[in-house]
Amino acid sequence: MTVSPNVQALQAFSLSRQIGANNVANLNTPEFKASGMTLETGPRGLGVRPGSIDQDTRPGPLEPAMKGVQDKQGRLETVWGVHEGSNTDLVREMGSSIQDERAFQANVAAIRTWDKMVGHLLDLRV
Protein backbone atom coordinates (compact mmCIF):
# COMPACT_ATOMS: atom_id res chain seq x y z
CA MET A 1 0.00 0.00 0.00
CA THR A 2 1.21 3.49 -0.81
CA VAL A 3 -0.06 6.91 0.18
CA SER A 4 0.82 8.59 -3.13
CA PRO A 5 -2.78 8.51 -4.43
CA ASN A 6 -3.97 10.03 -1.15
CA VAL A 7 -1.36 12.78 -1.30
CA GLN A 8 -2.33 13.52 -4.92
CA ALA A 9 -5.96 13.71 -3.85
CA LEU A 10 -5.08 16.16 -1.05
CA GLN A 11 -3.30 18.36 -3.59
CA ALA A 12 -6.26 18.20 -5.98
CA PHE A 13 -8.82 19.08 -3.31
CA SER A 14 -6.56 21.87 -2.04
CA LEU A 15 -6.46 23.37 -5.54
CA SER A 16 -10.23 23.03 -5.78
CA ARG A 17 -10.60 25.03 -2.55
CA GLN A 18 -8.21 27.71 -3.85
CA ILE A 19 -10.38 28.11 -6.94
CA GLY A 20 -13.54 28.19 -4.80
CA ALA A 21 -12.00 30.77 -2.45
CA ASN A 22 -11.16 32.98 -5.42
CA ASN A 23 -14.75 32.68 -6.66
CA VAL A 24 -16.19 33.64 -3.26
CA ALA A 25 -13.70 36.50 -2.84
CA ASN A 26 -14.91 37.96 -6.14
CA LEU A 27 -18.61 37.50 -5.40
CA ASN A 28 -19.21 41.27 -5.57
CA THR A 29 -16.78 42.03 -8.40
CA PRO A 30 -18.67 43.28 -11.47
CA GLU A 31 -18.39 41.02 -14.52
CA PHE A 32 -16.36 38.38 -12.64
CA LYS A 33 -16.63 34.90 -14.14
CA ALA A 34 -16.35 31.99 -11.70
CA SER A 35 -14.04 29.07 -12.43
CA GLY A 36 -14.38 25.39 -11.68
CA MET A 37 -12.14 22.34 -11.79
CA THR A 38 -12.76 18.80 -12.93
CA LEU A 39 -11.04 15.80 -11.38
CA GLU A 40 -9.44 12.99 -13.37
CA THR A 41 -8.42 9.49 -12.39
CA GLY A 42 -4.83 9.42 -11.20
CA PRO A 43 -1.93 7.48 -12.71
CA ARG A 44 -2.44 3.71 -13.06
CA GLY A 45 -6.11 4.21 -12.17
CA LEU A 46 -5.30 5.18 -8.56
CA GLY A 47 -6.53 8.31 -6.82
CA VAL A 48 -7.51 11.58 -8.42
CA ARG A 49 -5.68 14.53 -9.88
CA PRO A 50 -6.74 17.95 -11.13
CA GLY A 51 -8.24 17.91 -14.59
CA SER A 52 -9.14 21.05 -16.45
CA ILE A 53 -9.84 24.43 -14.86
CA ASP A 54 -12.61 26.12 -16.81
CA GLN A 55 -14.26 29.50 -16.58
CA ASP A 56 -18.06 29.63 -16.35
CA THR A 57 -19.11 31.81 -19.29
CA ARG A 58 -22.73 32.26 -18.24
CA PRO A 59 -23.64 35.91 -17.68
CA GLY A 60 -24.03 37.24 -14.17
CA PRO A 61 -27.15 39.06 -13.00
CA LEU A 62 -27.79 42.66 -14.03
CA GLU A 63 -27.25 44.98 -11.10
CA PRO A 64 -28.01 48.68 -10.73
CA ALA A 65 -25.05 51.00 -11.12
CA MET A 66 -24.52 54.73 -10.90
CA LYS A 67 -21.75 56.84 -12.28
CA GLY A 68 -20.79 60.47 -11.86
CA VAL A 69 -20.53 62.28 -15.22
CA GLN A 70 -19.39 65.86 -15.82
CA ASP A 71 -21.67 67.90 -18.12
CA LYS A 72 -20.57 70.71 -20.50
CA GLN A 73 -20.76 73.33 -17.74
CA GLY A 74 -18.51 71.27 -15.46
CA ARG A 75 -21.29 70.13 -13.14
CA LEU A 76 -21.42 66.55 -11.98
CA GLU A 77 -24.51 64.55 -12.79
CA THR A 78 -25.44 61.11 -11.61
CA VAL A 79 -26.22 58.68 -14.40
CA TRP A 80 -28.01 55.47 -13.52
CA GLY A 81 -27.58 52.24 -15.41
CA VAL A 82 -26.88 48.57 -14.95
CA HIS A 83 -23.81 46.37 -15.11
CA GLU A 84 -23.29 42.64 -15.12
CA GLY A 85 -22.57 41.23 -11.68
CA SER A 86 -20.45 38.21 -10.79
CA ASN A 87 -21.82 34.86 -11.92
CA THR A 88 -20.51 33.14 -8.76
CA ASP A 89 -23.17 30.93 -7.18
CA LEU A 90 -22.52 31.06 -3.44
CA VAL A 91 -24.75 28.05 -2.70
CA ARG A 92 -22.83 25.91 -5.21
CA GLU A 93 -19.51 27.15 -3.80
CA MET A 94 -20.52 26.23 -0.24
CA GLY A 95 -21.64 22.77 -1.39
CA SER A 96 -18.32 22.25 -3.19
CA SER A 97 -16.46 23.43 -0.11
CA ILE A 98 -18.20 20.85 2.09
CA GLN A 99 -17.64 18.10 -0.47
CA ASP A 100 -13.93 18.95 -0.77
CA GLU A 101 -13.57 19.08 3.01
CA ARG A 102 -15.07 15.60 3.43
CA ALA A 103 -12.88 14.17 0.67
CA PHE A 104 -9.84 15.83 2.27
CA GLN A 105 -10.74 14.30 5.66
CA ALA A 106 -11.17 10.83 4.13
CA ASN A 107 -7.75 10.98 2.48
CA VAL A 108 -6.08 12.25 5.67
CA ALA A 109 -7.70 9.34 7.56
CA ALA A 110 -6.28 6.89 5.00
CA ILE A 111 -2.80 8.40 5.41
CA ARG A 112 -3.06 8.18 9.21
CA THR A 113 -4.15 4.53 8.99
CA TRP A 114 -1.22 3.76 6.67
CA ASP A 115 1.13 5.53 9.09
CA LYS A 116 -0.16 3.45 12.02
CA MET A 117 0.15 0.22 10.02
CA VAL A 118 3.75 1.01 9.09
CA GLY A 119 4.46 1.88 12.73
CA HIS A 120 3.05 -1.45 13.90
CA LEU A 121 5.08 -3.34 11.28
CA LEU A 122 8.24 -1.57 12.39
CA ASP A 123 7.45 -2.41 16.02
CA LEU A 124 7.08 -6.09 15.07
CA ARG A 125 10.41 -6.12 13.23
CA VAL A 126 12.36 -4.46 16.05
89: pLDDT strictly greater than 80: yes
The confidence score (pLDDT) of residue 1 equals 61
pTM: 0.81
Could you give the angle at which helices 90-125 and 4-25 cross, rounded to 10 degrees?
160
Tell me the residue range of the domain where 114 lies. 4-125
| Alpha-carbon distances of 114 from 4, 17, 79, 110, rounded to whole Å | 11, 25, 64, 6
Q: 44 pLDDT band (50/70/90 cuts)?
A: confident
Number of domains in the chain: 1
